[in-house]
Amino acid sequence: MPAELPEHVARTRNGQPATVLEAISEALWEEMERDDRVFLMGEDIGAYGGAFKVTRGFLEHFGPSRVVDTPIAEGGFTGAAAGAAHMGLRPVVEMQFMDFISPAYDVLTNYIATSLYRGSGPLPLVVRGPVGGGNRGGPFHSQNVEMAFFHTPGLKIVYPSNPRDAKGLLKSAMRDDNPVIFEEHKGLYRAPFCREVLPPDDYVIPLGRARTALEGENITIVTYGLMVHRSLEAAAELARDGIRAEVIDLRTLLPLDEDAIAASVTKTGKLLIVHEDTRTGGIAGEIAIRMNERAFEWLDGPILRVTAIDSPVPFSGELEDYFLPSTQDVVTAARYLVEY
């Protein structure tokens, strides 16, 4: 291993189990080694190594022209990244917290997402950063932002649930010629229950394809991110009662792999959608109507959803626990639906 290789990247390359954070860091490192057009932009990602230390050691190896510390101006540096992409580079923009992406909403939706359609050519750009609650971060550091951009043609949205997918999906996003919003649940970054040995080869996972995290026959649970783990915990509890739940991990939200969802629903006849995002306008509504259109004849009960409540993310721990969907919430909804 080169002397300058960060310790956490060296460890995962040597076959040690990787966290989601380490998998993301390794994906960035490998793509920067592979393609000198790739560079990083964001607040405190250089000398400080990023708020969560994803880019620790990158500045020393790749230099300040490829690891660029930015001012606190998300709209400005996202626009600068778009200009760099137009000139043939492949920028990866880090939002210190994805909550702060809102100043860049205009440039992302009105300019970046429409670029190819308007004839300006491909715009290879990734905007990545941490999302999600459970860490007592309050309303400014805990949001899930996927549905703010889900309505925008021209964007792709990715939300992994485990280290292997995080690395493979991020590498695919960085090689894609379209703009990608890449959400990383901070509750999975260093989670002890979410570590795995990464394949040693240069692998990618195609965008737009869900995976079956658990096979079952009595009910389909569609979910993504941290809620995959909550849903698997619920499935284990349901299995003790003889209920076999099938858990579908979406991985990519836009484009949505509705074929995978429909295939599962036609097998089980029951659909429960679980996401951490708030209820109104969440992706559960879109999935529900698509399955109503595609798989109505196979449904043997109403489509249900388990989500966060319609509220800003509370700072109080007790209130945040009440706000977020729990494993028991999933179990209760699944039992109701199976018995319907």
Catalytic position from the list 8, 61, 86, 141: 141
Cis amide leading into 255 (omega within 30): yes
DSSP-based three-state secondary structure for 67: strand
Asked if residue 37 lies in contact with residue 66, where contact means CB atoms within 8 angstroms, the answer is no
Active site residue 141: yes
Q: Phi and psi for 9 in degrees, rounded to 5?
A: -70, -40
Q: How far apart are CA 161 and CA 248, in angstroms?
A: 11
The helix (run of H) or strand (run of E) holding residue 321 is helix 317-323
Q: 314: number of CA atoms within 13 Å, CB side? A: 12
Query: In the structure encoding, which two tokens stand for residue 260, read together?
Result: 């995978």
In sequence order, what DSSP letters do the residues of 188-239 get, joined into one string? HHT-TTS-BPPPSS-----TT--EEEE--SSEEEEE-THHHHHHHHHHHHHH
Q: Please provide the size of the chain in residues.
A: 340
Query: CB under 8 Å to 223, separation ≥6 — which residues?
Result: 230, 231, 247, 248, 249, 250, 273, 274, 275
Catalytic residues: 141
